[in-house]
Amino acid sequence: MRLTTLGDLLLDVIVRLEDQLELGADRAAETRVGAGGQAANVAAWAAALGATASFVGKRGADAAGEIATRELSSHGVDVLGPVEGSTGVVVSIAQAGDRALASDRGAASGLAGSELQQEWFVCDVLHVSGYALLAEPAASAALRAAAMARQSGAAITLDLSAWTLIDEAFRSRAIGLRPDLVFATEAEREAFGVFETRWVVKRGADGVVFDGEEFAVVLTDLVDPTGAGDAFAAGFLVGGVQLGLETAARCCAKLGAMP
């Protein structure tokens, strides 16, 4: 299977806490710094599962970009796209089985359609991160990438990414992408509204719903849920719902969003 993802390659800073943060106080934490970003995570997990995986996006010409690119490449992913500006950083605070994100997308939103090359999108599936649809020129680049991928017969999939980011502009761009399949949490599905496509609805500990059928989670020791949805998407695209759930469990059992 040939999978191409489009979106962000960022520097992830994962912070695992036992106690609540307080202004003016210091708390002990377990941390990890490395490559992240939704599209990059999906590509890394897909490669780990045996797919031929490529990532397309703009990353910064800085030390953070070098670290992120080196790590993603080490997972067997072909890293494509222009290099300029500063690399984005996402801080993930993991606590009590959940996480909160603080995101700086950096150069990722600056990807332009004119910077894309047709050969990057010769694939079976193009998976688009919803973060790519948040702002121009990356949103228009995502639409152009989908058109290029369709020329090679690829299916288009989309992850809505975050319910707090869904507005009319995002909704219009997502519909214009004409995805064959959409990944969403229950909150994202509700926020998006009516859209005729196939949905994979992620429900956390309650598993997922696909084509009207409910699937239970694979039990695991929960260390850090960061990237679990990305791991699930990779597994689903490579081998179906059960592989997706197994891959999400693998992700949750360790610190960090990549394999």
Band the pLDDT of 113: cuts 50, 70, 90.
Answer: very high
Higher pLDDT, 61 or 28: 61
Domain spans of the chain, in order of start: 2-252
Query: Lowest-confidence range among 1-5, 162-166, 177-181, 199-203?
Result: 162-166
How far is the C-alpha of 183 from the C-alpha of 189, rounded, in Å?
A: 9
| Residue whose entry in the numeric block shows the structure tokens 């948040």 | 134
Band the pLDDT of 98: cuts 50, 70, 90.
Answer: low
**Which residues are CB-neighbours of 103 under 8 A, at least 6 positions away?**
10, 88, 89, 90, 91
Higher pLDDT, 99 or 189: 189
Band the pLDDT of 95: cuts 50, 70, 90.
Answer: low
Apex CA 201: angle with CA 257 and CA 111, to 5°?
55
Using the CB atoms, write b or e for 181-196: b if 16+ within 10 Å: bbbbbeebbebbeeee
Kindly report the number of other CB atoms within 10 A of residue 199's CB atom.
Answer: 19
Residue 86 dihedral angles phi and psi, to the nearest 5°: -110, 145
DSSP state of 219: P
Domain 2-252 has CATH 3.30.950.10: no
Task: Give mean pLDDT, residues 231-257.
Answer: 94
This prediction has a pTM of 0.91
Using the CB atoms, write b or e for 221-254: b if 16+ within 10 Å: eebbbbbbbbbbbbbbbbbebebbbbbbbbbbeb
Strand partners, 32: 14
- Of the chain, the end-to-end C-alpha distance in Å amounts to 19
pLDDT (tens digit per residue) in 140-165: 999 999 999 999 999 999 999 888 88
User: What are the strands of the beta sheet with 213-215, ordered from one edge?
Assistant: 78-80, 52-56, 2-6, 125-129, 155-159, 181-185, 198-202, 208-210, 213-215
What pLDDT does 97 receive? 58
Beta strands in 42-180 (DSSP E): 52-56, 78-80, 87-95, 98-106, 125-129, 155-159
Kindly report the number of other CB atoms within 10 A of residue 111's CB atom.
Answer: 27
Res 68 pLDDT > 70:
yes
Q: What does the mean pLDDT of the chain come to? A: 92
